Amino acid sequence: MPHRVEIAWACLSNLVGEEAFSARLLLRNASDAPIAAGWQLYFNTCRRVLADSVDAGWRIDHLNGDLFRLRSTSGADWQPGEAFEIGYVAQFWAISVTDAPLGFYLIEADGKVTDLGDPEIQPFTRPEQLHRHARDLLPSLDAARRYRENAALRLLPIEEVGRITPRPLHAVFGDGRCVLSGTADIVAGPALAGEAAFLRALLAELPDAAGAVEAARIVLEIGAVDAEGPEAYALEIGPAALRLRGASAHGVFNGIQTLAQLLAPDGTLPCGQVLDAPRFGYRGMMLDVARHFSSTATVLRLLDCMAVYKLNKLHLHLTDDEGWRLQIDALPELTAIGSKRGVAGQGAALPASFGSGADVERSAGTGYYDAADFIAILRYAHARHIEVVPEFNMPGHARAAVLAMRARHERLRAQGDIEGAERYLLSDPDDASSYESVQMWRDNVMCIALPSVDRFFDTVVAHVAALYREAGVPLRAVHTGGDEVPLGAWLGSPVCRALMRERGWLDVGQLHADFVERCRAILARHGLAFAGWEETALKHGAATAEGCAPAQHENTRKVEGAPLPLPRPAFDGPGFQVYAWNNAWGSGKEDVAYRLANGGYDVVLANAANLYFDLAYAKDPQEPGYYWAGFVETRHAFVFCPLDMIASAASDPMGHAIAPERLAAMTRLSAEGRTRILGLQGQLWGENARTRERVEYLAAPRMLALAERAWAPDPGWCRIDDPAARAQAIEADWNEFANRLGQRELPRLDRAPLAYGYRLPPPGVLCEGRTIHANVALPGLALHYTLDGSVPTPASPRYTQPVAVPPGTALCKVATFDTRGRSSRIVTIALEPHA
């Protein structure tokens, strides 16, 4: 029988030295047998443990990435029932469950491996646990503060709430009703066969027209629309006929999504007209499947939800340090090794990361898409007019590929095939470079001076292009990543130094720029455009062996006093698409996207402070997600002003206002630069997304706010000069959108077959004496409560007005519910009981 070990963890205080916190691990052998001396306990943590801070008798070693190992130095067996308390200090801070160590597993002296899972995380309650340091001015969002924040919202009558999300250019409805049925007559030409089939499937569950009422005839057509762009459509709904005209098949599909929003479960919809077209042509979501694998079914569900809200790009982050997720026939090691995580019994695997555990087969870090899977995703997306943009991250964030190709090299070298072994090698065996990436890897960068790296990329691109051809889907661009190469990479590589001497390059920035151009040339030979994160288009300061600085951690990417990188003029021109991301307020990089657009680059806004959906919704210890760029509520995505983000500037991640002089110094978009903002993209990084449920929780409802800003007309906030009037306009629009979510859109997402697992906001609750007041961030969602200590359910009393608590009541529990009966986190209010 495997040994059982009980584990608990607590943050003791964040006020330890300069950006450090103290913590405590509690371990207990809950087995009936001793654990022999020599055992080792492994775990993942995003906070580096300071080795010399660990209590006497214990040692914690940083192995690589976020993997750490705990060992006893006593040399004694661990007896049944014996408990240990181990204190240590770690870098930065811990204010939420995301900051706790996760994914513990035990390796005994005889090599036996046991997964132990996550620890019990002790509550964060005291000020020194809830704040990052003395400069952290951002208050924790407890129930009372949520109540006060929600107090500005009011429940609107349903007729004042928009019917269509994202909001269209123009819509007007009368009192008449149109009736559709599952057998409705649909007229469409061959060019719209796919759209007609999609609509038939949508209508299939509707009842037949009742009584003497005849179902309306539906006409789908392509033609001129009085709105700009190929995605425009016009919808005319009459009592006897419904006509949907699109500027293209994509426009017709968009109109079908609007029709679906107007359609009631009984098959009726209001008569009227809708004219619509998107504000931006690029409206995307990025899903990171490298850190944790998302199944094909999870991706298809995301595509369905994206299609509902007219998003049209799925950026698939297929590779990173912690995983390679697409099978490449010519390079089988990429998935044979790079798609597996854990402690491998046979063969090889990548180490556990982000709490993925020791069991390779059961790990959320294990999995890949074979050709059939990927083609299925491509075709499903294409049928919904969504373009899949594949990303292969290089030259940094590439550890999975580097190790896989190193294993290939060793296998072929052992067989005597030296030429074959070196054909796709991604690392210099003699590289003595010293660096550490943002996620604490020390060996995750490709050696870009090797010709084999170019050959590797060309082979991957050729295989991917073939998959798109087999799927019958166009491939227009490949995203090459290019972000966060740590300082110090390549400086100790003889191969890199030799190439730099040969070309007369003085710093590795020139070496990196050359690599980007080589990747761009490879893609051009395949007829594809180049896409990459902002770093691929920026000129950074020189790096030498004497001038390296340590990399910052993933949660603290801001580097104080760092010089602002500027666009590389040599890379201007078509075929280069830049995704600008690192705009945390106070970082000094808030306007990089505008600098790039003004410098001639086509830019997709992927702004972390508004559009990173892996970041926690709120500063709440129970809210999952990182927060290095701040906390990103649904509202933060909604109020984002793409063409004048400075007008909607927020405080920095510590709650400090941005100095007016700093805002005044920021670059604004030029007239030419405005034309180069292609659109918006939400990012869902996968470090904290071990399950489909977590993916959907993090994605929505923020994704709906993204769709609103990317599609809907400019709300005009930035043209209001008076700050008070501007704020009032934003509040009014947010109130309407919050009602639209609570009263219309989230109930629609509850319906089968999609039933998307969006986040339900916990209620705001305020106790005044013996009276409980409650509200919710999305008006229209139901609140239910109990006063007897039981868990609220949809059958519990519904909160409609303040509740007077009877004497003797000790606890009030309140939760938000959707129409399926799902509950938010429960808010518990302790009352002073008295007779």
pLDDT at position 547 is 34
pLDDT confidence band for 542 (50 / 70 / 90): low
- Indicate if the pLDDT at residue 57 is higher than 60: yes
Strands of 771-775's sheet, edge to edge? 764-768, 771-775, 803-804
| Nearest-10 crossing angle of helices 508-525, 451-471 | 30
Q: How far apart are CA 353 and CA 708, in angstroms?
A: 35
Q: Which tokens go with 699? A: 């994605």
Q: How far apart are CA 160 and CA 85, in angstroms?
A: 58
CATH domain 282-721 topology: TIM Barrel (3.20.20)
**How confident is the model over 706-711, as a mean pLDDT?**
98
pLDDT at position 564 is 62
pLDDT at position 453 is 98
Q: How far apart are CA 677 and CA 534, in angstroms?
A: 13
pLDDT, tens digit, 9 for 90 and up, residues 485-512? 999 999 999 999 999 999 999 999 999 9
pLDDT at position 541 is 55
Q: How far apart are CA 493 and CA 433, in angstroms?
A: 6
Q: What does the domain layout of the chain look like in residue ranges?
A: 5-136, 170-276, 282-721, 728-835
- φ/ψ (deg, to 5) at 510: -70, -35
Q: How far apart are CA 220 and CA 589, in angstroms?
A: 47
Short-list 376, 158, 384, 170, CA closest to 257: 384
pLDDT, tens digit, 9 for 90 and up, residues 442-488? 999 999 999 999 999 999 999 999 999 999 999 999 999 999 999 99
pLDDT confidence band for 214 (50 / 70 / 90): confident
Q: What percent of the chain has pLDDT over 70?
A: 95
- Indicate if the pLDDT at residue 790 is higher than 60: yes
Name the residue with higher pLDDT: 213 or 31: 31
Q: Are 641 and 662 in contact (CB under 8 A)?
A: no
CB neighbour class for 53 (10 Å; exposed up to 12, middle 13-18, buried from 19) = middle
CATH domain 728-835 topology: Immunoglobulin-like (2.60.40)
Q: DSSP letters of 612-653?
A: BTTB-SSS-TTS-SB-TT----HHHHHT--TT-GGGG----T
In the chain, the N- to C-terminal Cα span, in Å, equals 52
Which is the CATH superfamily of the domain at 170-276?
A: Chitobiase/beta-hexosaminidase domain 2-like (3.30.379.10)
pLDDT confidence band for 549 (50 / 70 / 90): very low
pLDDT confidence band for 558 (50 / 70 / 90): very low
- φ/ψ (deg, to 5) at 319: -140, 150
pLDDT at position 630 is 95
Strand partners, 24: 10, 87
Q: How far apart are CA 253 and CA 196, in angstroms?
A: 9
pLDDT at position 1 is 74
Evaluate whether 5-136 and 170-276 have a shared fold: no
- Indicate if the pLDDT at residue 830 is higher than 60: yes
Q: Are 783 and 817 in contact (CB under 8 A)?
A: yes
pLDDT at position 345 is 72
pLDDT at position 34 is 97
Considering the four listed CATH numbers 2.60.40.290, 3.40.640.10, 1.10.357.10, 2.10.109.10, the one that applies to the domain covering 5-136 is: 2.60.40.290
Average pLDDT, the chain: 94
Give pTM, 2 decimals. Answer: 0.96
pLDDT at position 650 is 78
pLDDT, tens digit, 9 for 90 and up, residues 597-635? 999 999 999 999 999 999 999 999 999 999 999 999 999
- Indicate if the pLDDT at residue 429 is higher than 70: yes
Q: DSSP letters of 282-319?
A: EEEEEEE-SSS---HHHHHHHHHHHHHTT--EEEEE-E
Sign, CA dihedral 127-130-131-132, equals positive
